[in-house]
Amino acid sequence: MTAQIDGAALLDEVEHFHRRFNVFPTEAAYVAVTLWDAHTHLLDCFDSTPRLAFLSPEPGSGKTRALEVISTLVARPMHAVNASPAALFRAVADESGRPVILFDEIDTVFGPKAKDSNEDLRGLLNAGHRRAGVSYRCVADGQGNQSVVPFPSYCAVALAGLGSLPDTILARSIVIRMRRRARDETVEPYRVRTNEPEGHKLREQLAAWAEQVAEQVDGAWPEMPEGITDRPADVWEPLLAVADAAGGHWPQRARAACVELVTAVAEDDRASLGVKLLTDLRDQVFPGETAVSTVEILHVLNCLEDAPWGDLDGRPLTARTLSRMLGEYVTAKGGRIKSRTVRIGGQPTKGYHADDLTDAWARYCPAPPGSKESVTPVTPPVTLPLTSNDDVTEEEGCNRNATVSPTPAPAAP
């Protein structure tokens, strides 16, 4: 009879192995990566698998080393830096055992130069997040005939690269923001000849432990930390199930790491530009106002120092771009958000009404500053004077780049 393996002690060993060679930015990162390693041995127990994304602004931040160490621990690793989408489709669908894909230099695939040239791969990574995910492709039979073949896409994926990832992949990922080691941060030199076998021994133990707890983990519904719902819950559910199966301090550490990393993603500056626009309108433009003119909205947004609006691809936000971006969202009544004639200081002008934005604010924006849900300080609203020298762009049907006068003060009662 095989002796029972202490899951908590084993995960401690795996974490220690990472700490010998990797410097991660937070304690939460060590917890998440260790649990991710273990979950690859239990994929058939889960409905989904999170992508693990090591991202950094500069080279030399330890991303590749992280993948090297992970490759010694996970089930059936496959380094895919040069793999074509067709090769990956067939590898993942292989009945002999799906691989764990380790994709380094992912910025060469989804970076600015690649643009939309790798949509097949993005589709595979997105579909493979779910166990039921499949990708359909036309396959020739050698006789000139084509047939539609479903390729199973479910597999674990770890990615490393500079910059960011497409939003659809980020939403399915646990993101580790890597950084260069400080002078006082030291690690052991990683040597494949001696250290890889050490990782393989841990891999064998993880596989044996996974067999022992598979029945317990299969179909488990781990308790989520307060506030973790929807996609973040899908992402973290497998890791929390692994932590619960291991026991010891891992359930508590896993949930603390979950909250920390999910909160970090929610506050990330790379969040949707549309959500950023809605949030800045709510916090910087509309406080205390029921309606604001398009001219004043553009003036305030384009003058915000820590916002992208003054330089969108080399030019400031315009009324046309503002209209297009807000038109993607709908009002509480179901119509698209759009400008309308509002009265500012008794004068009719084109602008936006707060009533049209409140539903989008409630659905898409983080908690407003000062609310009970808000956990981070927010820069106070900026009130900027609108002068006659400000260069603005009015909406279609109005004068463009016209000289405008300050908004008249409300008439005294």
Tell me which residue has tokens 């999910």.
Answer: 262
Clarify whether residues 199 and 174 are in a common domain: yes
Clarify whether residues 249 and 373 are in a common domain: no
Residue 377 belongs to some domain of the structure? yes
Clarify whether residues 201 and 290 are in a common domain: no
Instruction: Check if the beta carbon of residue 257 is closer than 8 Å to that of residue 240.
Output: no
- Domain hosting 342: range is 272-413
Its pTM surpasses 0.85: no
Residue 125 belongs to some domain of the structure? no
Each residue of 192-218: pLDDT tens digit? 999 999 999 999 999 999 999 999 999
Clarify whether residues 32 and 110 are in a common domain: yes
Domain tally for the chain? 2
Residue 150 belongs to some domain of the structure? no
Query: What DSSP letter does each residue of 98-112 carry, written as one string?
Result: --EEEE--THHHHST
Residue 12 belongs to some domain of the structure? yes
Q: How much is the pLDDT for 109?
A: 81
Q: How much is the pLDDT for 373?
A: 54
Instruction: Check if the beta carbon of residue 125 is closer than 8 Å to that of residue 102.
Output: no
Q: Which of 75, 65, 4 is closest to 37 using CA atoms? A: 75
Clarify whether residues 302 and 258 are in a common domain: no
Clarify whether residues 173 and 230 are in a common domain: yes
Tokens of 402: 């016209």
Tens-level pLDDT at each residue, the chain (413 residues): 578 999 999 999 999 999 999 999 999 999 999 999 999 999 999 999 999 999 998 899 999 999 999 999 999 999 987 677 778 888 888 767 889 999 998 888 876 655 555 777 888 888 888 888 777 777 777 777 787 777 788 999 999 998 888 888 888 999 999 998 888 899 999 999 999 999 999 999 999 999 999 999 998 999 999 989 988 999 999 999 999 999 999 999 999 999 999 988 866 644 578 889 999 999 999 998 999 999 999 999 999 988 889 988 788 999 999 999 999 999 998 889 999 999 888 889 999 999 999 999 998 887 776 665 544 433 344 444 443 344 444 333 333 333 334 444 444 44
Q: Which of 307, 303, 305, 281 is closest to 293 using CA atoms? A: 281
Clarify whether residues 236 and 277 are in a common domain: no
Q: How much is the pLDDT for 208?
A: 97
Clarify whether residues 50 and 181 are in a common domain: yes
Clarify whether residues 244 and 367 are in a common domain: no
Return d(Cα 300, Cα 280) in angstroms, integer: 10
Q: Which of 115, 229, 237, 219 is closest to 166 using CA atoms? A: 115
- Please return the burial class of 396, using the count of CB atoms within 10 Å of its CB with bins 0-12, 13-18 and 19+: exposed
Answer with the one of 237, 266, 295 that is the final residue of a domain.
266
Q: How much is the pLDDT for 281?
A: 96
Instruction: Check if the beta carbon of residue 68 is closer than 8 Å to that of residue 190.
Output: yes
Residues whose CB is less than 8 angstroms from the CB of residue 279 and which lie 6 or more positions away in sequence, other chains included: 361, 365, 366
Clarify whether residues 68 and 192 are in a common domain: yes
